[in-house]
Structure 1
Amino acid sequence: MSLLNVGARALQVNQTAIQTTGHNIANVNTAGYSRQTVTLGTMPSQYTTDGYIGKGVDVEGILRNHSELLTRQASAAASVQAGDAVRLDRIKQLQDVFTGGTSGLGAAINDMMNALSDVANAPTDLTARGVVLTRMDETAKRMRDASSRIDEISATVEYQIEGGINVVNNLAQDMAEVNRQIVLARGKGQQPNDLLDRRDQLIRDINQYVQTSQVAADDGSITLFVANSQPLVMGERAGSLSVGDPQDFNTNGAQKKLLFTPAGSTQKIELNENVLGGGEVSALMRFQNSDLAEGRNLLGRLAVSISETLNQQNRQGLTLDGELGDNLFSPIELDNAISGQRNADPTLTMGLEVADPSKLQASSYVVRFIGGGGTVTRQADGKVFSFADATELNTLMLGQGLRLTDNATPAADFPGASDGDQFLINPLQNAASQMQAAQFSPRNLAAANAINAAMGPSNDGSLQLVTLRATGNPALVLPPSPVPPATGEGVTLTFSAGSPMTFTPTGNTNPPMDLSTDPPTALTAPFTYTPGQPISIDGWEITLNGVPKTGDTVVVGNASDPQYGDYYLRDSGNAKALMNLRDAKIFDGASLTDGFAGAMAQIGTRTQSAQFAAELSTTIAGNLENERAAVSGVNLDEEAARLIQYQQAYQASAKMIQIAQNIFDNLIQTVGR
């Protein structure tokens, strides 16, 4: 009977081996499947006086070919790769908004500025004036189109984030159920290999959207954490993720935060974006709050700086009707600062307006008040500025090109918060969508200087006029225009020879200004004259060359004064000033026409960085997955060889039973005789 038992047991063991091999072959294309191997062991031998007689073979277990380390590494690398890939796809779409070529926004800006040269050469040419206004309207239209395309990208990203979060929440529920099944199965003494594979695959699937860490429990379940510390799955219970505004500010979707709700709770915890790690949802959150926000700010700064700069200069000139010019673009209203959700008085407001377009930064700011002073954090680069009082805060923001228009007095250290009131300054997000051309009549282009200049008729020196233009810095005050006209009225500069040469102004409203300071400061008499150096008074600027004699004069008058006749119709001083804005240093030291190129470069740099990161993470993820598959993957050739091996062993085991049966039959027959 022992021989029969050995054969029967061998037959059963080899049948199990064949079935396990078939299971491997059947799941060769199943995602997350780990190859299984039957572990065989010798049955304890039976002692006899002749020695130990073997009792055959038994199945000790079915081994899951699996490396915990490689599985976790491959899962983490795949998470990073998924995040890098989706960010690259989206940032390429953003790069298309900042494209070059004749159809791009940069070409429209250049065409607009270049068209002013024809007006400067022929100020009465209505066709040339009309071309300028058409170019301005086209620039505004392309600016709005670019803003609309960014809005479309943002809407797509939000939809993708919501979809990814729903998938994660469903996968978390599935994993909690698999945890429960594994705990029950382990009570039977064997590892539930297929359930373990399924759980590992669920973890990999979750990591495609948000990177996780895991800790194994003694009962066989796994606790899955997001953002390093929040338990998305703990045993049989699963939390959930959602997306919403920051808890400090109601940004109406301008910024997004990932929120975590623990299992069995309704309290939402804001997750730190910096510790989310990889995954599509994490990458899309960073794209929305960083890459896309920078794109909006760059575009908004372009719109605000161009419109404010051209508007200001056009207001300094005269139209063909002899009137001071008006805005070329509709004024762009900056968004008010967003009051903190926990501010002591949520009705407090902090309004904003442009103080200096050349100092605007493509960034948002967080203002925090602490003990009467506080800090301003520039979010684009994380730089922190400190201020001791409201005056310093205003000065600080003027250095960023912004002026605070409300005198709110936020409370410091209000109950329930460790800090005082806070505000989110995000003024440029919606600026580009507001850009509109405001002038459509060629006559309204203010091409002429609003001021005129004449040398004194009795001058004996060599004074010569080089340039004369209205700057509006500070606000333009036109020279007096007497009625009836009287020759000689206006602002008179009377010069004195000597060392140094000086001048004395009369008829002016404000003293000469030093524009090299920020803000401009008033000069004190005596006023030094230096040939070739501009003289700035009442918001206009005159540059003279030559050496004056004592008593020489220069009269700066109102160009619309009837005593000057219709000269302003043929004058193109303000058109030249508008044209010269092409080279004005407006965007971080770059000229107006180079502003869009600078924005293209910044987005292009982000795209190159994203491309490199995606290529690197793809390589790393591929290598780790290959290493994991080398341990856990199914090799069909190897399984086919094993199938033949186990088949032969099965047949031999059957032959052994047949021989044992023959021996037993012969023995019965012999005994029966």
Structure 2
Amino acid sequence: MSLLNVGSRALLANQVALQTAGHNIANVNTQGYSRQSVVLQTVPGQFTGGGYIGKGVDVHTILRNQSELLTRQATAAASVDASDSARVERLRQLQDVFSGGATGLGAAINDMMNAFSDVVNSPTDLTARNIVLTRIDETAKRMVGASGRLDEIAATVTEQLKGDIKAINLLAQNIAGVNDQIARAKGNGQPANDLLDQRDQLIRNLNQHIQTTQVAADDGTVSVFVAGSQPLVLGNQAASLSMDDPQDFGAASGQKRLYFQQPGSSTKSELGESTLGGGSVAGLLRFQNSDLQEGYQLLNRMAAAISLNLNEQNQLGLTLDGSMGKALLSDVVPVQPKPAITNTSAGSLALSIADPNKLPAASYVVVFTGGTAGTITAQPNGQAQAFANMGDLQTFFSDRGLQITPSGPFNANDQFFVDPLKNAAGKMQALQFSPGQLAAANPVNAAMGASNAGSLQLASLKASGDPAPLTLPPPTGVVLSFTAGTPATFTLTGNTGAPFDASTAPPTPLVGPPYTFTAGQAISIDGWEITLGGTPKTGDSVTVGNATDPQYGDWYKRNAGNAGAMMALRDTQMFDGATLSDGFAGAMAQIGTRTQSAQFAAELSSSFAANLERDRTAVSGVNLDEEAARLIQYQQAYQASAKMVQIAQNVFDTLIQTMGR
């Protein structure tokens, strides 16, 4: 009987081994499956006078081949890879908006500015004027198109985030359900290998959307945490995530936030973006809240600077009918600062644009720590800069081309979101379509004195409106009278305001009268600017008159001084020191640099994740060659066990027959 028992145990044990090998082969392509192995143990021998006689083998357990460390490392690396991949995919779309080439926005801007050269050469050519207006309209349409493309990207990112969050909540519920099954199965005393594989795969899938940490409990369940410490799954209970606008400024900020809600609770907690780690949600939020916002800011600043500068200069010139020019593009109305819903005072901030050439490509959050002090933080992820009083606050924005007017009192923790150029590109629109409405002529002209004996020459004359509003000369004109000397000097008659040195930034008042004359120095008088070269003699003069005075006839129709001033805007520094002609190239480089950096990070994280996954599968994966060899091994053992049972049966039959005689 003992031999029969030994054979029977061996037969059953090898049958389990064959079944386990077959289970491995059947699941070779099952995602998340961990290879299983039969662990055999010797049945304790029976003591006799001649020693311990073996009683065969039993199946101790079915071992799940996996490394907890490698599994967690591979899961975390895959989560980072998912974050980087999601971000770089969207950055490539953003880069397409800021692409170069003949169909790009930069080409439209350059074509628009270069078109002024034909008007400068032939101010009465209606075709040349019409081309300028057509180019302006084309630039405006491309700006609107680029802004619309950014809106489309934002909408698709929002929808993808919603889909990810829906998947996260479903996976969390599934993990909680598997946790419950595992806890029940643990009472049997053996691990539920397939359920453990299922849970690990669910956690891996969850980490594709949001990075998690796991803590195992004594009952076999695993608690899953997000954002460092928020329990997404506790035992068989799952919390939920949702996405919404920030609590403080709402949709005005253009950003999105992730919110956590405990089971059975109506309270939602905002999760910090920096605490999310990896996962596609983290990558998409980083793109939405940082990369995309920078794209909006660069585009809106460009649209605002072009519109404001062209409008201002055209309004300083004369049209073909002798009237002052009008705005060429729709006006840029700054968006007023948005107070946070948590503010406890009635204080407000008012904003206007003071200098279109200093506008920042950024938004700001102003936080008051007291009635007049606080911090200013560029969005997103900027460093907080303190201001001690309202003067400091106004200076900060003045240096960025903005004039801010506070209206207090303010309480501690009051906040304001400042994004003055929001949707400037989306609202850009050409307003003038008649060639005669292009104000190509200067509203002032200059004539050298008939008796001039020196070498005075007119280098340039234009209306600037800076630093004083344009005031046209009286019928007798504004006369500059010179006196020779070292240095030469001049006096003014007919002017309204004092002269400025326009060569400095900002323009500085000239000391006088008499005023020192410097050849090549730009002199600003009553909002127009004159530059003279050469050396004057005593008694020399220059008279600047109103171009529309009847005494000058239709001179203004043949003048293109203001068109030249508009063409010169392409070399004006508007974008952090970059000129208008280089502005789009700078924006393209900024987005390109972000994309290149993100691409490098994605390649690195992908390689790291692939290496760790390879290490994990080396432990957990099924090797068909190995399993085939084991099948042969277990088959031979099974056949030998069967032979043992057969022999035991023959011995037993012989024994019965012998005893029957």
Q: Which ranges in structure 2 are unaligned for 5 or more consecutive residues? A: none
Code of the residue aligned with 1:208 in structure 2: it is Q
- How far 1:517 sits from its partner (Å)? 5.7
- How far 1:380 sits from its partner (Å)? 5.4
Pairing 1:464–2:457 present: yes
Q: Is this contact kept in 2: 1:293–1:429, CA < 8 A?
A: no
Q: Is this contact kept in 2: 1:368–1:422, CA < 8 A?
A: yes
> After superposition, where does 1:533-544 map in structure 2 within 5 Å?
533-544=521-532
Q: Which residue of 2 is the match for residue 416 of structure 1?
A: none
Code of the residue aligned with 2:26 in structure 1: it is A
Q: Which residue of 2 is the match for residue 433 of structure 1?
A: 426
Q: Which residue of 2 is the match for residue 211 of structure 1?
A: 211
Q: Is this contact kept in 1: 2:481–2:491, CA < 8 A?
A: yes
Pairing 1:61–2:61 present: yes
Aligned CA distance change for structure 1 residues 75 and 459 (closer, same or farther; 3 Å): same
Secondary structure, in 3 states, of the residue corresponding to 2:115? helix
Residue 665 of structure 1 is aligned with which of 644, 653, 658? 653
C-alpha deviations, 1:123-167, integer Å up to 9, x for none?
A: 011111001000100010111111111111111110000000000
Q: Is this contact kept in 1: 2:168–2:206, CA < 8 A?
A: yes
Code of the residue aligned with 1:510 in structure 2: it is G
- How far 1:461 sits from its partner (Å)? 2.7
- How far 1:38 sits from its partner (Å)? 0.6
C-alpha deviations, 1:400-424, integer Å up to 9, x for none?
A: 12222x53225122xxxxxx21111
- How far 1:100 sits from its partner (Å)? 1.3
Secondary structure, in 3 states, of the residue corresponding to 1:600? helix
Residue 578 of structure 2 is aligned with which of 576, 583, 590? 590
Secondary structure, in 3 states, of the residue corresponding to 2:250? coil
Between the aligned partners of 1:278 and 1:628, the Cα distance in structure 2 is 19
Code of the residue aligned with 1:320 in structure 2: it is L
Between the aligned partners of 1:656 and 1:234, the Cα distance in structure 2 is 52
Code of the residue aligned with 2:490 in structure 1: it is F
Q: Which residue of 2 is the match for residue 562 of structure 1?
A: 550
- How far 1:521 sits from its partner (Å)? 4.1
Between the aligned partners of 1:532 and 1:502, the Cα distance in structure 2 is 14
Q: Which residue of 2 is the match for residue 136 of structure 1?
A: 136
C-alpha deviations, 1:604-627, integer Å up to 9, x for none?
A: 111111221121111111111110
Secondary structure, in 3 states, of the residue corresponding to 1:224? strand
Q: Is this contact kept in 2: 1:479–1:556, CA < 8 A?
A: no
C-alpha deviations, 1:616-655, integer Å up to 9, x for none?
A: 1111111111100000001111111111111111121111
Between the aligned partners of 1:352 and 1:19, the Cα distance in structure 2 is 77
- How far 1:599 sits from its partner (Å)? 1.1
- How far 1:382 sits from its partner (Å)? 1.4
Residue 547 of structure 1 is aligned with which of 506, 510, 535? 535
Q: Which residue of 1 is the match for residue 632 of structure 2?
A: 644
Aligned CA distance change for structure 1 residues 210 and 651 (closer, same or farther; 3 Å): same
C-alpha deviations, 1:425-468, integer Å up to 9, x for none?
A: 12333111010001111001010011111222333332221111
Q: Is this contact kept in 1: 2:337–2:416, CA < 8 A?
A: yes
Between the aligned partners of 2:21 and 2:525, the Cα distance in structure 1 is 94
Q: Is this contact kept in 2: 1:477–1:509, CA < 8 A?
A: no
Secondary structure, in 3 states, of the residue corresponding to 1:350? strand
- How far 1:379 sits from its partner (Å)? 2.2
- How far 1:66 sits from its partner (Å)? 0.6
Q: Is this contact kept in 1: 2:474–2:494, CA < 8 A?
A: no
Between the aligned partners of 2:512 and 2:282, the Cα distance in structure 1 is 63
Between the aligned partners of 2:381 and 2:256, the Cα distance in structure 1 is 19
Q: Which residue of 2 is the match for residue 614 of structure 1?
A: 602
Q: Which residue of 1 is the match for residue 86 of structure 2?
A: 86
Q: Is this contact kept in 2: 1:509–1:538, CA < 8 A?
A: yes
Pairing 1:497–2:484 present: yes
Between the aligned partners of 1:247 and 1:618, the Cα distance in structure 2 is 35
- How far 1:264 sits from its partner (Å)? 2.6
Code of the residue aligned with 1:473 in structure 2: it is D
**Matched length:** 659
Secondary structure, in 3 states, of the residue corresponding to 1:407? strand
Pairing 1:454–2:454 present: no
Q: Is this contact kept in 2: 1:212–1:227, CA < 8 A?
A: yes
Pairing 1:161–2:161 present: yes
Q: Which residue of 2 is the match for residue 445 of structure 1?
A: 438
Q: Is this contact kept in 2: 1:410–1:421, CA < 8 A?
A: no
Secondary structure, in 3 states, of the residue corresponding to 1:433? coil
Between the aligned partners of 2:457 and 2:119, the Cα distance in structure 1 is 25
Q: Is this contact kept in 2: 1:466–1:543, CA < 8 A?
A: yes
Q: Which residue of 2 is the match for residue 417 of structure 1?
A: none
Q: Is this contact kept in 2: 1:124–1:569, CA < 8 A?
A: yes
C-alpha deviations, 1:60-117, integer Å up to 9, x for none?
A: 1111101011101111111111122222221111111111111111111111111100
Between the aligned partners of 1:598 and 1:234, the Cα distance in structure 2 is 50
TM-score, normalised to structure 1's length?
0.95
Q: Which residue of 1 is the match for residue 363 of structure 2?
A: 364
Secondary structure, in 3 states, of the residue corresponding to 2:201? helix
Between the aligned partners of 1:276 and 1:508, the Cα distance in structure 2 is 65
Between the aligned partners of 1:437 and 1:157, the Cα distance in structure 2 is 31
> After superposition, where does 1:87-102 map in structure 2 within 5 Å?
87-102=87-102
Between the aligned partners of 1:241 and 1:514, the Cα distance in structure 2 is 61
C-alpha deviations, 1:455-485, integer Å up to 9, x for none?
A: 2233333222111111111243323334xxx
- How far 1:36 sits from its partner (Å)? 0.6
Q: Percent identity?
A: 64
Aligned CA distance change for structure 1 residues 208 and 517 (closer, same or farther; 3 Å): same
Aligned CA distance change for structure 1 residues 412 and 253 (closer, same or farther; 3 Å): closer
Code of the residue aligned with 1:386 in structure 2: it is A
Between the aligned partners of 1:138 and 1:631, the Cα distance in structure 2 is 61
Q: Is this contact kept in 2: 1:470–1:476, CA < 8 A?
A: no
> After superposition, where does 1:208-357 map in structure 2 within 5 Å?
208-252=208-252, 254-345=254-345, 348-357=347-356
CA RMSD, Structure 1 to Structure 2 (Å) = 1.6
Q: Is this contact kept in 1: 2:227–2:276, CA < 8 A?
A: yes
Q: Which residue of 1 is the match for residue 560 of structure 2?
A: 572
Pairing 1:199–2:187 present: no
Between the aligned partners of 1:542 and 1:207, the Cα distance in structure 2 is 67
Between the aligned partners of 1:407 and 1:210, the Cα distance in structure 2 is 42
Pairing 1:480–2:473 present: yes
**More moved, 471-480 vs 136-145:** 471-480
Q: Which residue of 2 is the match for residue 524 of structure 1?
A: 511
